[in-house]
Amino acid sequence: EAEVAQSPRYKITEKSQAVAFWCDPISGHATLYWYRQILGQGPELLVQFQDESVVDDSQLPKDRFSAERLKGVDSTLKIQPAELGDSAMYLCASSADRSYEQYFGPGTRLTVT
């Protein structure tokens, strides 16, 4: 069964360092999402791509976060510089057009010290 792949699974970084997460969606899924899930809360959408274009990045802290999906397939989310409050699970999901069904990867748990 096809799955969304994410790496790394766990990342520990020091405050003010740069960190990057990678996501490979299910083959053929045009829409890709990055979510942030703070402990004890539900996921919050950071950015949504349709192919290589950004559809929604209204909740992305653009002063330190960036996301790209250059060829419309895999995607990278970057944080620079990391802050203590960025400690969270970062989830990637993908969906086929108009399916209203998002498939989630296992996530990357980030700890900022």
Partner 1 sequence: AQSVTQLGSHVSVSEGALVLLRCNYSSSVPPYLFWYVQYPNQGLQLLLKYTTGATLVKGINGFEAEFKKSETSFHLTKPSAHMSDAAEYFCAVSDLYNTDKLIFGTGTRLQVFP
Chain-centre distance for alpha carbon 12: 16
Verify binding: residue 32, partner 1, rule CB under 8 A: no
Q: For partner 1, which is the closer residue by CB, 19 or 95?
A: 95
Q: Are strands 75-79 and 31-37 parallel, antiparallel or unpaired?
A: unpaired
Of 77, 107, 110, 112, the one binding partner 1 (CB under 8 A) is: 107
Verify binding: residue 25, partner 1, rule CB under 8 A: no
Of 4, 67, 79, 88, the one binding partner 1 (CB under 8 A) is: 4
Verify binding: residue 111, partner 1, rule CB under 8 A: no
What sign does the CA torsion over 84, 76, 107, 47 have? positive
Chain-centre distance for alpha carbon 87: 13
Q: For partner 1, which is the closer residue by CB, 30 or 73?
A: 30
Phi first, then psi, for residue 34 (nearest 5°) are: -115, 130
Residue type, 78: K
The site for partner 1 (CB under 8 A) is made up of 4, 31, 40-45, 48, 55-56, 91, 93, 95, 100-107, 109
